[in-house]
């Protein structure tokens, strides 16, 4: 804002030009001559009441001040990070000022009339409940919607190990024969693991087992202040311990490893650490799903978090011992304000209705804390990008060099990913070994949830031999359907011969999904 105020003195003609353009747009809006076709597909304005003349004028006035903004913002003499912050602020203001968020929304007025005002009373009650509970946003009632182990995360299995950092789940084989080498899944420490085992028919774990893979999975603990010193080194060591126990339990010398998002970072760091420490023979293959190997993320979240903001975040995490779930949930919510903030608020507070809940929504609100040291280490990755500088990151007494990895690897990115842009997941020259890259055409979460039979699923796939992602895309092969079979078939090629499925018995630690996933 200070930079913007300074520009008033240095660029008065530029601001005057924007003001003139805005007044011209407002005049067109008052006359009803402004083009509203960009809003035709906006779900906020689908109610028939928006077609009335008064509502149309309201929408046009809202559009009038926004349309010249892009040209005005581009012409400002600001630093890139200041321009990004100002663009984000203006997007937030535009989303908040949308006429759909007010009592002039025809849907709110119609609901109030038909209910005799009771909808507004229910909405006020919902608002008071959410403020009292400290929720950052309007959200569905999560207390009785789903039960873990019954509705979600219900693939049969046993807890075969429990440590301070994690529980290790061994899933019960679903085929008479399984591939000899087991698969260890490393989910992200952010949120719960059961996105990978969401519900029957929409479970990556279930799919892998149907293909004859032996599946083991790490369920991370939700840390408390006493775990403030858990950083990347601790998580990599925990992953190594889980790998050792997976190999011991399955009676094999090798396993395959799959990491997802920040869990993929942990998996990649483990492989580089093993290469440096002489343990590379423990793995036969690595797959990384929506994992930022290039941590220079060009996203709104990263652009907003300048040096001062990151330092405040570090201080906050160390003062509490962790980054609380409210802060992490709010950060991701404000990246999609129309979808994740204001539309739920209109439904819950304006219409007085309970928000619909589905397994993905339930999982998305089941946030976890992050230890202070892990927050510090992840911010260091974003600040320095040491993964692109072999040897600049020391982890558990070893220099990390991703280019030294000789394992074959399979990589997934999502074209519309707003958290890990797909270019950042492309391995390029950052990793050694034979690499295969797949680009699905969805978002960060929906890209992962893509079971066979998905009606709109398609992806590009091919060897990652090009130095950059765009060159790879120009030669990649387009495929229809889910990427899940391509991933599991690749894993099967590196999982050894078929053997008789083991009879995994209860080891006394309980059934999946275990105890840690239930902790709050």
**Could you give the residue numbers annotated as active site?**
261
SS3 of 464-506: CCCCCHHHHHHHCEEEECCCHHHHHHHHHHCCCCEEECCCCCC
Q: Which of 462, 395, 398, 392 is nearest to 430 (CA)?
A: 392
Positive or negative, the CA dihedral 368, 134, 372, 417 is positive
H-state helical runs in 351-429: 359-364, 372-384, 422-425
**What is the CA angle 346-344-356, rounded to 5?**
120
Rounded Cα–Cα distance for residues 55 and 104 (Å)? 8
Rounded Cα–Cα distance for residues 349 and 401 (Å)? 52
Q: Which residues of 139-164 are buried (b: 16+ CB within 10 A; e: fewer)?
A: bbeeeebbebbeebbbbebbbbbbee
Residue entry with tokens 């126990």: 245
Rounded Cα–Cα distance for residues 275 and 280 (Å)? 5
- Helix (H) / strand (E) containing 307: helix 307-320
Q: Is the peptide bond before 156 cis (omega within 30 degrees of 0)?
A: no
CA distances from 387 to 3, 260, 409, 448, 517 (A): 33, 17, 16, 24, 30
Q: Name the 3-class secondary structure at 332.
A: helix
Q: How many whole angstroms from its chain centre is CA 193? A: 12
Q: Which of 184, 192, 204 is nearest to 274 (CA)?
A: 184
**For residues 480, 481, 484 and 488, what is the CA-based torsion angle, rounded to 10 degrees?**
-60
Rounded Cα–Cα distance for residues 165 and 160 (Å)? 14
Strand locations in 115-156 (E): none
Positive or negative, the CA dihedral 351, 354, 356, 362 is positive
Tokens linked to 265: 């970072």
């Amino acid at each position: 804002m200070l930079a913007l105020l300074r520009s008033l003195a240095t660029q008065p003609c530029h601001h005057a030009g924007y003001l003139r353009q805005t007044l011209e747009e407002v005049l067109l809006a008052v006359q009803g001559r402004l083009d509203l076709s960009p809003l035709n597909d906006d779900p906020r304005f689908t109610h028939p009441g928006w077609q009335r003349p008064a509502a149309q004028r309201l929408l046009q006035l809202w559009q009038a001040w926004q349309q010249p903004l892009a040209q005005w913002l581009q012409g400002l003499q600001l630093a890139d990070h200041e321009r990004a912050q100002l663009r984000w602020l203006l997007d937030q203001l535009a989303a908040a000022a949308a006429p759909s968020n007010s009592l002039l929304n025809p849907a709110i007025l119609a609901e109030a009339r038909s209910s005799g005002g009771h909808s507004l009373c229910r909405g006020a009650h919902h608002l008071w409940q959410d403020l009292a509970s400290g929720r950052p946003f309007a959200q569905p009632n999560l207390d009785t919607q789903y039960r873990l182990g019954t509705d979600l995360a219900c693939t049969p299995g046993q807890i075969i190990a429990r440590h301070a950092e994690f529980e290790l789940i061994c899933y019960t084989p679903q085929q008479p024969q399984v591939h000899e080498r087991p698969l260890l899944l490393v989910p992200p420490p952010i949120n719960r693991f059961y996105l990978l085992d969401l519900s029957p028919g929409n479970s990556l774990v279930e799919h892998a087992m149907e293909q004859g893979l032996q599946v083991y999975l790490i369920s991370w603990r939700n840390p408390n202040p006493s775990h403030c010193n858990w950083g990347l080194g601790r998580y990599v060591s925990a992953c190594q311990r889980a790998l050792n126990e997976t190999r011991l339990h399955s009676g094999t010398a090798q396993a395959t490893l799959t990491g997802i998002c920040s869990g993929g970072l942990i998996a990649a760091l483990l492989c580089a650490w093993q290469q440096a420490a002489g343990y590379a023979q423990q793995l036969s293959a690595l797959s990384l799903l929506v994992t930022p190997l290039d941590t220079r993320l060009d996203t709104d979240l990263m652009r907003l978090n300048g040096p001062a903001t990151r330092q405040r975040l570090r201080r906050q995490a160390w003062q509490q011992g962790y980054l609380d779930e409210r802060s992490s949930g709010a950060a991701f919510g404000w990246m999609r304000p129309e979808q994740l903030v204001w539309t739920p608020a209109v439904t819950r507070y304006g219409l007085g209705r309970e928000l619909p809940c589905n397994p993905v929504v339930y999982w998305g609100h089941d946030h976890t804390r992050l230890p202070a040291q892990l927050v510090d280490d992840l911010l260091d990755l974003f600040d320095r990008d040491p993964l692109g500088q072999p040897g600049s990151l020391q982890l558990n007494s070893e220099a990390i060099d991703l280019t030294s990895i000789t394992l074959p690897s399979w990589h997934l990115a999502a074209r519309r990913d707003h958290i890990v842009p797909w270019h950042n997941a492309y391995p390029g020259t950052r990793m050694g070994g034979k690499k295969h890259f797949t680009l699905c055409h969805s978002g960060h979460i929906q890209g992962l949830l893509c079971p066979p039979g998905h009606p709109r699923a398609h992806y590009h796939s091919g060897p990652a031999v090009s130095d950059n992602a765009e060159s790879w895309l120009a030669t990649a092969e387009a495929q229809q359907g889910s990427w899940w079979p391509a991933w599991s078939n690749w894993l099967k090629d590196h999982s050894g011969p078929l053997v008789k499925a083991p009879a995994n018995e209860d080891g006394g630690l309980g059934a999946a999904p275990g105890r840690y996933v239930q902790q709050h």
